Amino acid sequence: MPTPSTATRPQMNEKVEVTIDSLAHGGAGVARLDGYVLFVRDAVPGDRVRAVVTKRKRAYGEARALEILEPSPERVAPAADHPGAPWQVLPYERQIEIKAEQVEDALRRIGKLDGFEMEPIVEAEQQWRYRNKVEFSFGEAEGRLVCGFHAPGSWEQIVEMDDCLLVSEQVNAARAAVLEHCRSQGLEAWDRRSQVGFLRNLVIREGRRTGQLQVRLVTSKGTLDGDAFAAVVPGDGGVFWTQAAGVAETTAGGYTEHLAGPPALEEELGGLRFAISPDAFFQTNTEMAERLYAIATEYAELRGWERVFDLYCGIGTIALSLAGRAGEVWGVELVEHAARDAIANAKRNEIANAQFFAGDVRLAMRDLVERAGRPDVLVVDPPRAGLSQKIVRRVIEAAPKKIVYVSCNPTTLAPNAAQLAEAGYVLKRVRPVDMFPQTHHVECVAVLDRA
Which residues are identified as catalytic?
Answer: 408
Residue-wise DSSP of 318-379: HHHHHHTTSSEEEEEES-HHHHHHHHHHHHHTT--SEEEEES-HHHHHHHHHHHH---SEEE
CA-CA-CA-CA torsion sign (127, 129, 134, 138): positive
The residue type of 447 is V
- Give the Cα-Cα-Cα angle 395, 393, 281 (nearest 5 degrees): 55
Asked if residue 110 lies in contact with residue 413, where contact means CB atoms within 8 angstroms, the answer is: no
Angle of the 410-422 helix axis to the 389-398 helix axis, nearest 10:
50
Residue 298 carries which DSSP code?
H
Asked if residue 134 lies in contact with residue 436, where contact means CB atoms within 8 angstroms, the answer is: no
At residue 115, the 3 state secondary structure works out as coil
C-alpha span between 60 and 39 (Å, rounded)? 8
CA-CA-CA-CA torsion sign (342, 344, 348, 352): positive
- Residue 124 CB partners (closer than 8 Å, separation 6+): 130, 285, 288, 434, 435, 436, 437
